[in-house]
Amino acid sequence: MDNRIGLYIHIPFCKSKCYYCDFASYANQNEKMKAYVLALTKEIKHYGKIFSDKKVDSIFIGGGTPTVLPLDLIKELMQTIFCNFSLEYNAEITIESNPGTLNKEMLKLLKRLNINRLSIGLQACQNNLLKAIGRIHTVEDFNQNFFHAREAGFNNINVDLMFALPNQTIKDWQVTLEYISDLSPEHISCYSLIIEEGTPFGKWEEQGKIKRCDEKLDRCMYHYAKKYLNSKEYKHYEISNFSKPSSESKHNLIYWQYKPYIGMGLGAHSFVDGKRYHNTYNLEKYIQAKGEIRSLQEDIEILPPSMQYSEYIFLGLRLLKGISIKEFEVYFKTSFDKLFGESVKKLIELRLLEKNKDRINLTSKGLDVSNTVFTEFLL
């Protein structure tokens, strides 16, 4: 039996909250950082005891912006993880960052702490667009941070980009992709803007101050990214993700391949042995719980087999290689065709899905309407 597991560590602090962000994050709460990290290290120690028999093959430190933490707190956090979990020798350890929160000293420390993958949120390479979406950095800040990261020895860097932004043109998007591909990071993520309720963008859309991007332009930008990045030898391996050979995100593959992971920190989600839950989203409650797991967990759900079948397929079909029917049947010890044979046949006829021997995967047409395809696998 596979005894590997992934860890997600959430740092909810940032310098300023972007207009589209609906994550569990807080700006200008520096005075709470020390108490938060203390509570987080206690939670890590508790989980380390529970999963002492597991090998960690991926750690992802996300946020928020983890690199707003002072150096001593980052060091304390990493040392706690290493002292309480057993890591695979080739474990991927990622930390998210934003331009303007990195400097040479910070990058050297991250490298010394065995963090081997850096994710930098650029989003766009036009300063007017960055300002319009609430980013507090410039393209020049990003450029400096990227080169400092290379100097510090980071040879596995992801850059996050966004398209379908308000007033973003196809030319803006083309220039952004050209700019990033010239820098040659190992991994590029391209996300279409989703305007969520409760965010400034959500409010401004209701008030008519901003308009959602036209769907035709959204798809045009997505198709251009696929074609252009492929020409630059980036493999399109997941709906929103592109990588150089052997540089796929190990941590995200855990999610898409329906493998277990533990989330620690404010609002962090976990999935283990068919059980799904998340930590409280209340910052004060999280700090006061002092890492006591039962006090933190909310919305605990034991997934029935039917939901597990569907989720396995939803997540697996996000990968361009799709899913193996044989692996599904080994995992669940049930017949795939009895459950989903008719749905697969229908989707193949609609040219949204294709089957090659043992595998099924989304077609190019299916990628554009993936959520519609996924509903066909609900039981």
pLDDT digits (tens, 9 = 90+) for 213-271: 999 999 999 999 999 999 999 999 999 999 999 999 999 999 999 999 999 999 999 99
Residue 176 confidence class, pLDDT cut points 50, 70, 90: very high
Query: Stretch 314-324: mean pLDDT, rounded?
Result: 98
**Measuring CA to CA, which residue among 97, 107, 98, 158 is closest to residue 130?**
98
- Indicate the length of the chain as a whole number: 379
Q: Is pLDDT above 80 for 153?
A: yes
Q: Is the pLDDT of residue 123 over 70?
A: yes
**Average of per-residue pLDDT values in the chain:** 96
E strand or H helix that includes residue 318: none
- The CA distance from 263 to 284, in Å, is 18
With 80 as the cut, is the pLDDT of residue 23 above it?
Answer: no
The confidence band for 24, taking pLDDT boundaries of 50, 70 and 90, is confident
pLDDT-based confidence at residue 296 (cuts at 50, 70, 90): very high
Please name the residues in contact with 138: beta carbons below 8 A apart, sequence gap of 6 or more. 99, 127, 130
Answer for the pair 62, 8: CB distance below 8 angstroms, yes or no: yes
The CATH architecture annotation of domain 4-256 reads Alpha-Beta Barrel (3.20)
* Whether 98 contacts 120, CB under 8 Å: yes
pLDDT for 378: 95
Q: Tell how far CA 66 is from the center of its chain.
A: 14
User: To which residue do tokens 């963008």 refer?
Assistant: 201
- Residue 4 sits at φ, ψ, to 5 deg, of -90, 155
- Taking residue 52's Cβ as centre, other Cβ atoms within 10 Å add up to 10
- Select from 11, 179, 168 the least CA-distant residue to 98: 11
Share of the chain above pLDDT 90, in %: 91
**Does the pLDDT at position 40 exceed 80?**
yes
pLDDT tens column, 56-102: 999 999 999 999 999 999 999 999 999 999 999 999 999 999 998 99
Domain spans, the chain? 4-256, 323-375
pLDDT of residue 17: 84
Res. 16 pLDDT band, cuts 50 70 90: confident
What average pLDDT does this structure show over 126-136?
Answer: 94
235 vs 247: CA distance, rounded Å: 9
What's the CA gap between 9 and 60, in Å, rounded? 6
Distance from the Cα of residue 54 to its chain's centroid: 22
Terminus-to-terminus CA distance in the chain, angstroms?
28
- Is the pLDDT at 188 greater than 80, yes or no? yes
Q: Decide if 278 contacts 299 (C-beta within 8 A).
A: yes
Q: Categorize the per-residue pLDDT at 1 as very low, low, confident or very high, splitting at 50, 70 and 90.
A: low
Evaluate whether 179 touches 124 at the Cβ level (below 8 Å). Answer: no
For residue 22, what pLDDT band results from cuts at 50, 70 and 90?
confident
Would you say residue 288 has pLDDT above 90? yes
Higher pLDDT, 54 or 25: 54
**How confident is the model over 330-354, as a mean pLDDT?**
97
On the question of pLDDT at 28 being above 80, the answer is: no
Residues paired with 160 in a beta bridge: 121, 189
Which structure tokens are listed for 305? 């087999």
Q: Stretch 112-116: mean pLDDT, rounded?
A: 97
CA distance 204 to 195: 10
